[in-house]
């Protein structure tokens, strides 16, 4: 990007254009003035020739010559020659030959021949024209120089005024760099070049501020996640370590040995599930591989498996004809499995779960509703946070819903907990097109 002085470039460009215009005007006026003076002089010569021709007598020159001299026209008359072999008498009058003005250096000459053979020559010098044109050119150059000087002052002042908004941008940017991040230009008009620049500048600052806030929120969430993950991992690891140390140190007999081994297996399984959840949460930072996926084909085996696990419960699946979305089948299966597993954990053995998959205005919605205790209104957003469990007595680590919502939003959709008079009602909403 060229960073030369914008003010200097604008000033020099304007002055160069003005100089070209002034030069063209001076040249045009000078040439027109010279042509007019030259035309006047030729007209006077032609008028003098016409006057003599009309008089048809050399004697008329005695009266015309003084007036012509005042007009700068000199006259000269010469008698015609006798024809060869003649007696000295004048030849009979002959027809007049055409005459034209000729140029000899700085002189204009018109020759006229009268009917009696007398030749009259009119001459006028163009030195006065050259002098007048030179004087005019000097005046024009002085006026042009004065106009150029005045224009320079005006252009400098106008340029300074016109570039004042850019100075405001520089001042604002400097103040923002010094810590006043909330400052904005706020242009009065956005349909001009400077208004568009100021608007783009404000949008850029808003985008940067949003990015900084998101980065800070992400850093805070990462620190909170690491702290929560460390806390969650510490408990099963400590229990596992205590059980192993007791088993190795005391070598207890059965049934105490069996109890410790069962505790080791239980804590190992819990630790494995937690690690898998943490790895799954970390993998969500990658973009999902989207392919055409039918949510009904994913939901049906999950519902059948849930019915086999809770044979006394009522689990209903309702679908539309076309419930295809573009998404990662494995990730979407994980979302639906988590929601159905949560519903199974919430209902009584004879409870009810409704799974509805249908299209709605360019989206496919999967609704999972149960008749369990439900979710308190003030907890409907909190349950999607990491490591949040409403009932600590039930298995889990509080990562399932956080992972499920993250997957939904990676697919340009969302997962929400809807208000419900009875039980919990979760809605997964995904677009049908990329």
Per-residue pLDDT, 28: 93
Buried/exposed 58-96: b ≥16 CB within 10 Å, e otherwise = bebbeebbeebeeebbebeeeeeeeeeeeeeeeeeeeee
Give which of 263, 281, 415 is closest to 335, Cα–Cα.
415
Greater pLDDT, 100 or 333: 333
Predicted confidence (pLDDT) per residue in 47-96, tens digit: 877 777 776 666 666 667 777 777 778 877 776 543 443 444 444 444 44
The Cα 383–Cα 338 span in angstroms is: 13
d(CA 365, CA 359): 6
pLDDT at residue 85, as a whole number: 39
Distance, first Cα to last Cα, the chain: 38
The arithmetic mean of pLDDT across residues 318-326, rounded, is 90
- Greater confidence (57 vs 307) lies with 307
**Comparison of pLDDT for 176 and 55, the residue scoring more:** 176
Cβ-contact 425, 418 below 8 angstroms = yes
| Cα distance between residue 155 and residue 17, in whole Å | 12
Share above pLDDT 70 across residues of the chain, in percent, rounded to a whole number: 84
**Tokens, residue 88:** 């000295």
Instruction: Please name every residue paired with 74 in a beta bridge, in sequence order, or none if there are none.
Output: 123
* Burial group, residue 413, by CB count within 10 angstroms (0-12, 13-18, 19+): buried
Mean pLDDT of the chain: 81
Q: What is the DSSP string of 49-69?
A: HHHHHHHTSGGGHHHHHHHHH
Lowest-confidence range among 206-215, 299-308, 422-431?
A: 206-215
Structure tokens at 291: 């392919």
Q: How far is CA 19 from CA 76, 138, 141, 254, in A?
A: 49, 16, 11, 110
8 A C-beta contact, residue 110 and residue 99: yes
For domain 288-431, the CATH architecture is 2-Layer Sandwich (3.30)
Segment 425-431 mean pLDDT:
94
Sign, Cα dihedral of 55, 61, 65, 67:
negative
What are the angstrom distances between the C-alpha of 115 and each of 56, 266, 273?
7, 145, 134
What does the pLDDT read at residue 221? 66
Domain-wise residue ranges, the chain: 6-79+99-159, 180-283, 288-431
pLDDT in tens, 121-160: 878 888 888 888 999 999 999 999 999 899 889 888 888 8
pLDDT for residue 83:
40
**Domain 180-283: CATH architecture, name and number where available:** Orthogonal Bundle (1.10)
DSSP H or E run through 19: helix 6-55
Contact indicator for 64, 51 with CB cutoff of 8 Å = yes
């Amino acid at each position: 990007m060229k960073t030369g002085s914008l003010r200097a470039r604008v000033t020099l460009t304007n002055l160069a254009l003005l100089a070209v215009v002034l030069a063209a005007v001076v040249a045009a006026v000078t040439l027109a003035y010279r042509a007019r003076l030259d035309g006047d002089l030729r007209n006077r010569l032609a008028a003098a020739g016409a006057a003599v021709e009309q008089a048809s007598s050399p004697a008329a020159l005695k009266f015309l010559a003084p007036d012509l001299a005042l007009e700068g026209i000199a006259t000269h008359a010469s008698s015609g020659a006798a024809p060869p072999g003649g007696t000295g008498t004048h030849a009979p009058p002959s027809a007049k030959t055409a005459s034209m003005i000729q140029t000899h250096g700085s002189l204009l000459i018109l020759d006229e021949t009268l009917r009696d053979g007398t030749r009259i020559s009119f001459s006028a010098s163009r030195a006065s024209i050259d002098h007048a044109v030179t004087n005019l050119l000097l005046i024009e150059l002085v006026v042009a120089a004065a106009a150029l000087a005045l224009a320079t002052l005006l252009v400098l002042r106008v340029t300074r005024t016109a570039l004042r908004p850019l100075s405001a941008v520089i001042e604002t940017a400097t103040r923002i760099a010094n810590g006043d991040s909330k400052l904005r230009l706020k242009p009065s008009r956005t349909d001009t070049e400077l208004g568009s620049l100021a608007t783009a500048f404000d949008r850029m600052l808003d985008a940067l501020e949003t990015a900084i806030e998101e980065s800070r929120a992400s850093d805070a969430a990462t620190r909170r996640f690491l702290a929560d993950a460390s806390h969650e991992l510490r408990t099963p690891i400590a229990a596992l370590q205590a059980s192993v140390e007791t088993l190795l140190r005391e070598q207890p007999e059965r049934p105490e040995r069996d109890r410790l081994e069962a505790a080791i297996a239980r804590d190992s399984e819990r630790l494995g599930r937690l690690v898998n959840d943490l790895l799954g949460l970390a993998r969500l930072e990658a973009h999902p591989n989207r392919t055409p996926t039918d949510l009904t084909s994913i939901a049906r085996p999950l519902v059948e498996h849930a019915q086999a696990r809770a044979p006394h419960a009522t689990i209903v699946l309702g679908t539309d004809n076309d419930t295809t979305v573009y998404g990662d089948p494995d990730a979407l299966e994980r979302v639906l499995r988590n929601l159905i597993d949560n519903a199974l954990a919430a209902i009584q053995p004879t409870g009810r779960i409704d799974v509805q998959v249908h299209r709605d205005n360019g989206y496919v919605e999967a609704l999972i509703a149960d008749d369990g205790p439900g979710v308190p209104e003030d907890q409907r957003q909190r349950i999607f946070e990491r490591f949040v469990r409403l009932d600590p007595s039930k298995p889990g680590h509080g990562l399932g819903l956080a992972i499920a919502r993250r997957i939904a939003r990676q697919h340009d959709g969302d997962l929400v907990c809807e208000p419900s008079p009875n039980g919990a009602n979760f809605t997964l909403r995904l677009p049908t097109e990329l």
